[in-house]
Chain A
Amino acid sequence: MSAGGIKPARPFPAAARDTLGNAQMRRNLRHATTTIREKRQRAVDELPNWEALRDEAAALKDHVMAHLSEYLLELEASVQARGGQVHWARTAQEARSIVAALAQRHGAQEVIKVKSISTDEIELNAGLAAHGIHAIETDLAELIVQLAEDQPSHILVPAIHRNRAEIRELFQRKLGAELLTDDPKALADAARTYLREKFLSTTVAVSGANFAVAETGTVCVVESEGNGRMCLTMPDVLISVMGIEKVLPTWQDLAVFLRVLPRSSTAERMNPYTSFWSGVTPGDGPQEFHLVLLDNGRTDVLADDVGRQTLRCIRCSACLNVCPVYERTGGHAYGSVYPGPIGAILTPQLLQLEDENANTLPWASSLCGACYDACPVKINIPEVLLYLRGQISDAQPPSVQAAAFKVAAWVMSEPHRFEGAIKLARTGQGPLVKHGAIHALPGLLAGWTASRDLPAFPRQTFREWWRQRPAAQEHGPDRPEDTSETAGNAWEPL
């Protein structure tokens, strides 16, 4: 991504109003989230013990949080034992300086980057530019976003708001590519040609890290396109920036995360490429390796008993794809590199609940709970949202609260926004339903059902039935449709 950072420029309601006006973006987004959602369910259902895996992943992450300093020290020692160097950065500023100094030491004018949300968080590209170093994004979507001088709108598919015609125009203008068609294959080929030259000639690369194993000093990057393999293999120097919460105790612990991450994320059994390395390997890959361990607000999140679970996040983006608010507003409205439900809890916490705009984010939710059901590490996002609302309301001047409550009102006022959520609630409600009614909702939602039963969600809403009836299928069931403007309401929640 080109600029980035986590500080929203505006409060969520103001930013959301703008993106709501962009019908093209909303159509693209809806198509994407619906497609991924359906695929994801299939991928998850294929593993017989999905719930046990989620429990294990969550417990493991909690264990790491309880022993974080030990594991960080162990990781440092094992990376050093393999010939790597470890750096510690308290703030974004400190992390930027470390990376810039390393790049400068090698005389680099350009560095290649594999998509990394932590480097977006620290606004690395702008930081490097200040030192006259140009960072080239090598992930196709990130490249599109960078060339368009745009912001990513999704953790996983950052250019999801751009269609092929826009991309063709962009590549012609910025890369000088002669593109006869806007066929995605032709577009990908144009990027391949442009980037191959960069991979083979650039000496310094920057990456993020999905996991790092304390026991073995192994760092891991999960990707699809091979741009990761290129960045991690071809240059002389590799710098990886990693949040301190990403450490795992033992090599074996990778097994559970490599099972839950791809299925939750791209809905695949496994992503095309996963690379692991420890320090440097003589005769193979970069001969200099630096690991930058980043705090940037994480220790504050760690210190909070309720908020701490946010640090379990493995950035799979499953919560985005099930969120009815995200589907309407798109990622830009969140004003941070962390969009969607995870962004609504992570961004304000990283900023220590001191940022007026970020403090509107916990209201950017309908509290439908779909994100919690989808989360492979079982972060109780609704619980954290409500908790943060309480913290913020106690501490903030009324104007912030007023703006924030408007978001809630806006979300709640249009019942069709709940449709996606209800659909998910129905799949997720299994154990809660007895004799056709829900008697108790979990966690903090329990208050709603303490004195009354909620009717179980119907198997099919009227609108779903209407869309699926044979006549509708003649238009092709797969066509993305944006019916939200015209459709009426058939089922009112609560």
Chain B
Amino acid sequence: MSAEARLEILTRVNRAQPAEPTRFQRPARPVSGRDEHDVVEQFAEYAAEYRANVIRTSRSALPAVLGDLLQGQVQVAVPKDLAADWLPAALAVHRDDPDLTDLTVITAVVTGAAVAIAETGTVVLDHGPGQGRRALTLVPDHHICVVFEHQVVESVLEAVQRLHPSARRGQPLTWISGPSATSDIELSRVEGVHGPRTLDIVLVAGPP
């Protein structure tokens, strides 16, 4: 049945599609030349407008900052390849393993990110090194996402360009703009229907 349907649809499409008038030209994109500092500031501002908690820090203070944010959390998970020196030495964490970890008992998760976008206040995970599988940042209620300033790009366009290699490799991507939210009931915004109800973005200055 399907082979027949496929052939018929393709035949119909072929007959129906117009002769293209002109070739589609992707417009040239002007380089904005905006100051890197401004771009990072805008990201911090817009992410906060989406009710993510944005915490600014330096590379050396990162473990202490994460320690503070995780105060009182007993079931913390991280991707199995998260750099050990991000975390406070004394902290006990679960290294994620699809067979070992029951994510429903995890209360907080710490990951890195692939790209962050100033234009929209978005962080993007391509689930590459330090970011874990998709469920890890979905089931627990508190996601702490570490973003380095050099990962912040100005626009959605730049982000898409930077993510092209990941997409070509077939990696899944998750774009996150603030915590999960709904406005379905009388348009009043409620945070956290299904995803994490708290999103902390730790924005790290300087080299990784």
Residues of A at the B interface (CB closer than 8 Å) are 28, 31-32, 35-36, 52, 56, 59-60, 62-63, 65-69, 72-73, 82, 87-90, 94, 98, 138-141, 144, 157-160, 163-164, 167, 184-185, 187-188, 191-192, 195-196, 199-200, 213, 216-218, 224-227, 229-230, 232-234, 244, 251-252, 254-255, 258-259, 262, 266, 268-279, 281, 283-285, 293, 295, 299-300, 302-303, 305, 308
Contacts and interface: CB of A to CB of B under 8 A. Distances in A.
A69 B6 contact: no
B156 A66 contact: no
B71 interface: no
Given A140-B193, A285-B134, A285-B172, A224 B2 contact: no
A52 B194 contact: no
Interface string B24-68: 101100000000000000000010001000000000000000000
A199 B103 CA distance: 13
Nearest to A66: B20
B17 A269 contact: no
Nearest to B175: A274
A272 B121 contact: no
Interface centre among B6, B15, B121, B193 (most CB of A within 10 A): B193
Contacts of A139: 184
B175 A82 contact: no
B12 A279 contact: no
Given A88-B6, A284-B127, A285-B172, A229 B138 contact: yes
A441 to B, nearest CB: 25
Contact of B167 (A89, A251, A270): A251
Closest 8 CB pairs of A and B: A226-B195, A226-B194, A66-B20, A303-B16, A63-B24, A270-B120, A299-B12, A226-B180
Nearest to B180: A226
Nearest to B12: A299
B178 interface: yes
Interface stretch (B87-95, B105-113, B157-165, B200-208): B157-165
A252 B18 contact: no
Nearest to B196: A226
15 contacts: A59-B24, A140-B182, A184-B185, A199-B194, A230-B194, A252-B160, A258-B156, A258-B160, A273-B175, A276-B174, A276-B175, A295-B9, A299-B9, A302-B13, A303-B12
Contact of B174 (A66, A88, A273): A273
B17 A225 contact: no
A90 B50 contact: no
Interface centre among A192, A259, A270, A284 (most CB of B within 10 A): A270
A164 B186 contact: yes
A330 B34 CA distance: 45
Nearest to A142: B184
B177 A67 contact: no
Contacts of A302: 13, 16-17
Contact of A65 (B18, B176, B180): B18
A369 to B, nearest CB: 25
The interface residues of chain A, by DSSP majority, are classed as helix
B193 A226 contact: yes
A98 B5 CA distance: 12
Contacts of B176: 272-273
B2 A271 contact: no
A285 B182 CA distance: 24
B23 to A, nearest CB: 8
Interface residues of B, number: 69
Contacts of A159: 184-185
A59 B187 CA distance: 33
A305 B21 CA distance: 12
Contact of B13 (A138, A244, A252, A275): A244
B193 A271 contact: no
B74 interface: no
A273 B180 CA distance: 7
B172 A188 contact: no
Contact of A255 (B9, B10, B21, B156): B156
Given A160-B187, A225-B184, 20 more contacts: A32-B187, A35-B187, A62-B24, A66-B21, A72-B9, A72-B13, A157-B184, A159-B185, A188-B182, A188-B190, A192-B194, A216-B170, A225-B194, A226-B193, A226-B196, A244-B9, A279-B170, A284-B134, A299-B16, A303-B16
Contact of B133 (A62, A163, A225, A285): A285
B181 interface: yes
B123 to A, nearest CB: 10
A36 B185 CA distance: 14
B8 interface: yes
Contact of B9 (A251, A279, A293): A293
Contacts of A36: 187
Contacts of B188: 184
Contact of A63 (B12, B20, B50, B173): B20
B84 interface: no
A140 B10 contact: no
B177 A272 contact: yes
A441 B104 CA distance: 59
Contacts of A274: 173-175
B52 to A, nearest CB: 10
B12 A225 contact: no
Given A69-B17, A229-B174, A303-B16, A141 B180 contact: no
Nearest to B193: A225
A387 to B, nearest CB: 16
Contacts of B15: 299, 303
Given A140-B184, A302-B17, A192 B193 contact: yes
B177 A259 contact: no
Interface in B109-155: 117, 119-122, 127, 133-135, 138
B97 to A, nearest CB: 10
B100 interface: no
Contact of B185 (A65, A167, A229, A255): A167
B134 A213 contact: no
B27 A56 contact: yes
A90 B195 contact: no
Interface centre among B18, B156, B186 (most CB of A within 10 A): B186
B130 to A, nearest CB: 15
